Amino acid sequence: MKIRKAVFPVAGLGTRVLPATKAMPKEMLTIVDKPLIQYVVDEAKEAGIEHFIFVTGRNKGVIEDHFDRMFELDATLESRGKKAEMEILQRDQPEAGAMSFTRQQAPLGLGHAVWCARDIVGNEPFAVLLPDELVLHTPGCLKQMIEAAGKLGDKSNLIAVEEVPADRTHQYGICGVGKRQGNIFEIDGMVEKPPKGTAPSNLSITGRYILQPEIFQILQRHERGAGGEIQLTDAMIGLAKSQSFYGVEFEGERHDCGSKAGFLRANIAFGMAREDLRDGLREEMKRHLSN
């Protein structure tokens, strides 16, 4: 199964990290020295994605600008002989025509955001990556999923999952576990935030998906779910009646950067993963922990 396109829902307001996101999109908050959105785009590139589709909203134009060329900056760096910095910008520059931007004009939920990308995705399987979730690992989470997809049928859907404490399953979308093949298993049910003590497993749905285009036919109905929003999980439950869904237990450390504590933890984890920063960061943390 060839996956060429990925959808990045970036229209959210980022209310969990206010006031930082009052004037800046949460996707542009930096982890070490790169914005969140750059990390997930890099993950998609590593996985072989060729077309990057952003579902945006108001005040999100800076995301589009980030992936565009800035001629004044290029000229300044060149005139000052900043070759290393120029190479970084060139490395992150997408090919012409590789990115598309479409609007979600109202905050109607993740399912609605994915539906907004329907015409650009077309009639082919595609990936969805939530940009406020980062996975620290090489290869990245999406590449692991695409490798798993190669072992399954062409009409399979995949969801990245991870274990959560049993006493917190009511806070997540949870998968039921069927027949297993290593780190891949058949999903025999999905439930969004099950009441305490009723979850079918402790494996939660995370922010990486590979979906078949038939999901758009279900999202087209605009049926409201939890919170009065059009939920992607509800649409997946509907699609599971006619197509197979598989869970992929990925390798790596997931960070929810949409929360303040998660954002701080991600900066520490990604900083410690950098050889050029690790020693100094470790010493600084020791100093603060000793106070």
pTM over 0.85: yes
Please give the Cα distance from 240 to 155 (Å, whole number): 11
Whichever domain contains 125, its CATH number is 3.90.550.10
pLDDT value at residue 192: 82
Mean pLDDT of the chain: 90
Using DSSP's 3-state secondary structure scheme, residue 20 falls into coil
Give me the number of domains the chain comprises.
1
Average pLDDT on 153-181 reads 90
Average pLDDT on 108-124 reads 94
Confidence of residue 76 (pLDDT cuts 50, 70, 90): confident
pLDDT tens profile 220-236: 987 777 667 788 989 99
125: which DSSP letter?
-
Q: 255: Cβ–Cβ under 8 A, 6 or more apart, which residues?
A: 133, 134, 135, 136, 262, 265, 266, 269
pLDDT value at residue 229: 79
70 pLDDT higher than 90 = no
Nearest alpha-carbon partner for 12 in 258, 225, 263: 258
pLDDT value at residue 12: 84
pLDDT tens profile 207-222: 999 999 999 999 998 7
Average pLDDT on 99-126 reads 93
Where do we find the tokens 């504590």?
Answer: 261
Under a CB-based contact definition with an 8 Å cutoff, are residues 273 and 149 in contact? no
Under a CB-based contact definition with an 8 Å cutoff, are residues 49 and 6 in contact? yes
Confidence of residue 78 (pLDDT cuts 50, 70, 90): confident
Give residue 137's domain range: 5-289
pLDDT value at residue 114: 96
The residue that leads in pLDDT, 93 or 214, is 214
15 pLDDT higher than 90 = no
62-67, long-range: CB < 8 A, 24+ apart: 62/24, 62/25, 62/28, 63/10, 63/25, 63/27, 63/28, 63/37, 64/99, 64/101, 66/28, 66/35, 66/37, 66/38, 67/41, 67/92, 67/93, 67/94, 67/99
Average pLDDT on 19-48 reads 93
The neighbour count for residue 236, using CB atoms within 10 Å, is 23
pLDDT value at residue 36: 96
Alpha helices in 139-277 (DSSP H): 141-149, 215-219, 232-239, 260-272
Q: Checking phi first, is residue 197 left (phi over 0); if not, alpha (psi -120 to 50) or beta?
A: left
Angle 157-162-164 from CA coordinates, rounded to 5°:
135
Quote the percentage of the chain above a pLDDT of 90.
63
Average pLDDT on 125-143 reads 96
pLDDT tens profile 241-274: 999 999 999 999 999 998 999 999 999 999 999 9
In the structure encoding, which two tokens stand for residue 56, read together?
A: 């945006």
